[in-house]
Amino acid sequence: MSTRKGVLAIYNTLSGKKELFRPIHEGQVGMYVCGPTVYSNVHLGNCRTFISFDLAYRYLLHLGYKVRYVRNITDVGHLENDADEGEDKISKKARAEKVEPMEIVQKYTLDFHDVMTAFNALPPNIEPTATGHIIEQIELINTIIKNGFAYESNGSVYFDVEKYNANQPYGELSGRKIEDLIANSRVLDGQTEKRAPLDFALWKNASDEHIMKWPSPWGLGFPGWHLECSAMSAKYLGEVFDIHGGGMDLKFPHHECEIAQGCAATGKKPVLYWMHANMLTLNGKKMSKSAGNSLLPADLFSGENMLLSKGFHPMVVRFFMMQAHYRNTLDFTSEALNAAEKGFEKLMLAIENLMVLVPSSNSSINTKVLIDGFYAAMDDDFNAPALVACLFDAVKQINAIVEGRATINKEDLSILQKEISVFVFEVLGLQRPVEKSDDQRLSNVMALVLELRGSARENKDWVTSDKIRDGLSNAGIVVSDGKDGASWK
């Protein structure tokens, strides 16, 4: 833990500038990140956004902040179409698979957790679900109606964007002007409930076929996606909190609507720092399920995908993601992953060497400059690629010491050992890939030995076959021959 609070700069989408980070309560940070809509397996693009915020969370923790990190699970209300139209994504999947919507939610929440664990992403402190906060959402809608910024129509409730815009500019986060938005909006079929096409749903009246619905003052229905995040963030972080994050594609309408809902309910802007992570692309195109170019983490780990010639360890993939700043796009290629694998191995080897270096009486390298570089990189809006570059400067120095071209004294060595470990393992969240376990090694060796014994038996070479069996027996391994071949214990 460091005490360097006060020098961290964060790029705030709302101001379009890097700002010195000053939380509302000294020493404490409230951070909300929009979580996944759990209707399918998370793809590598989704993972990039969550890993970007994992990095921010880790660095805030390292700086010594007490962080309350809330990342929700969207399990209702995210419709196929941003204009409040189309089916609920989860209901649609449940209908297609002929299961309960909550089975879909459970299945893909578990997958999401497994993937986050594989990438060594820290769990949030609170992971609220939208379906678990229906009462809070109804309360929030009531407040917005009471304040005059929403209206009921045919069992649905809509936010009155033009009325809101009379006092507060709608569109300031995404840099849109209401006149342009109005000019570009069109009345879609089924939107006759709305007074104006820009108005968005806070609550949707559920038709008879709709599976997920709750009683409300406006009849049976379900909450709007934007409202969920406003209700859950306010409940756990307060009406105004420090950091709100999500992918760039959520800026509009999702986060714009969150600002409007927060202001309409409390008169205050809900968030001090808006952070947006840029997209993972494939051949320059945003990776997305709907575009059909998404890559699943499991396929990447196993190598079972046409784009890949082999599998990659989750830590190599995480390291690959650290090579681009979170606000820049990152293009996925198998070559880039191969390069990341080489770099990762080089870094891990240098760290192993660093831990067993023999100190000299003096230092020819400047550890302070190296370590200041680590902090400067991360203080500059969580600049992971700059940190990685500094770490490779350190790798060069370590290799020079190993090869006898440079020296390091005892005190500098212990500082460097500690700080490199902190930045590589705690801040970047990398892990040394676990060596194959002894058990796994033994089963690989036994598979080979039994195969050789099998060939000996096929050739009626009983001497060799018995020799192998007796030798193994002496080593405490019993071989038995069954109808499916030989087995061992």
Q: Which residues bind ligand AMP (CB under 6 A)?
A: 34, 36-37, 45-46, 48-49, 74, 246-247, 249-250, 279-280, 286-288
Binding partner of residue 286 among Zn ion, ligand AMP, none, CB under 5 to 8 Å per kind? Answer: ligand AMP
- Closest distance between ligand AMP and the C-beta of residue 37, in Å? 4
CA 163-197-206 angle, to 5 degrees, is: 100
For residue 436, the minimal CB distance to ligand AMP (Å) is 32
What is the pairing mode between strands 479-482 and 485-488?
antiparallel
Q: Which does 229 bind (CB under 5 to 8 A by kind): Zn ion, ligand AMP, none?
A: Zn ion
Judged by beta carbon distances under 5 to 8 A according to partner kind, the member of Zn ion, ligand AMP, none in contact with residue 45 is ligand AMP
CB of 321 to ligand AMP, least distance (A): 10
Of residues 150 and 296, the one with the C-beta less far from ligand AMP: 296
**Options 26-34, 135-143, 186-194, 425-433: segment touching Zn ion (CB under 5 A):** 26-34
| Residue whose CB is less far from ligand AMP, 194 or 286 | 286
Which CB sits closer to Zn ion, 231 or 416? 231
Local structure of 484: helix, strand or coil: coil
**Beta carbon of residue 393, minimum distance to ligand AMP (angstroms, whole number):** 29
The whole-angstrom separation of Cα 300 and Cα 322 is 17
Alpha-carbon distance 55 to 428, whole Å? 6
Binding residue for Zn ion (CB under 5 A) from 29, 31, 34, 141?
Answer: 34
* Binding partner selected for residue 216 from Zn ion, ligand AMP, none, CB under the kind-specific 5 to 8 Å limit: none
> Does position 140 bind Zn ion by CB under 5 A?
no
The C-alpha atoms of residue 44 and residue 102 are separated, in whole angstroms, by 24
Residue 101 binds: one of ligand AMP, Zn ion, none (C-beta under 5 to 8 A by kind): none
279 CB-side CA count, 13 A? 13
- Residue 112 vs 375, nearer CB to ligand AMP: 112
Residue type, 308: L
Nearest CB to ligand AMP, comparing residues 30 and 35: 35
In the complex, minimum distance from the CB of residue 212 to ligand AMP, in angstroms, rounded to a whole number: 17
Provide, rounded to whole angstroms, the least separation between the CB of residue 115 and ligand AMP: 12
Distances in Å between the Cα of 158 and the Cα atoms of 63, 120, 178 are 42, 40, 17
Residue 173: name its binding partner from Zn ion, ligand AMP, none (Cβ under 5 to 8 Å by kind). none
**Shortest distance (Å) from residue 335 CB to ligand AMP:** 19
Q: Give the residue with the Cβ less far from ligand AMP, 71 or 453.
A: 71
Question: Is 260 exposed, middle or buried (CB count within 10 Å of its CB: 0-12, 13-18, 19+)?
Answer: buried
46 binds, among ligand AMP, Zn ion, none (CB under 5 to 8 A by kind): ligand AMP
Contacted by 36, from ligand AMP, Zn ion, none: CB < 5 to 8 Å by type? ligand AMP
Residue 233 has a CB neighbour count (10 Å cut-off) of 25
Q: Where are the alpha helices (DSSP H) in 63-157?
A: 89-97, 101-118, 134-146
DSSP conformational letter for 310: S
Of 433, 396, 436, 430, which is closest to residue 416 (Cα–Cα)? Answer: 396
CA distance 320 to 322: 5
Helix 410-421 × helix 334-355 angle, to 10°:
140
Report the nearest approach of ligand AMP to the CB of residue 305 (Å).
16
- 60, 229, 347, 398: which one binds Zn ion (CB under 5 A): 229
Q: Nearest 5°: phi and psi at 277?
A: -90, 140
User: Which of the listed partners (ligand AMP, Zn ion, none) does 407 bind, with a CB threshold of 5 to 8 Å by partner kind?
Assistant: none
Task: Report the nearest approach of Zn ion to the CB of residue 398 (Å).
Answer: 43
Within 129-237, residue ranges assigned H as helices are 134-146, 161-165, 178-184, 225-237
d(Cα 232, Cα 34) in Å, to the nearest integer? 10
Q: Which amino acid is at 33?
A: V
CA 346 to CA 430: how far, in whole Å? 13
Name the site residues for Zn ion (rule: CB under 5 A).
34, 229
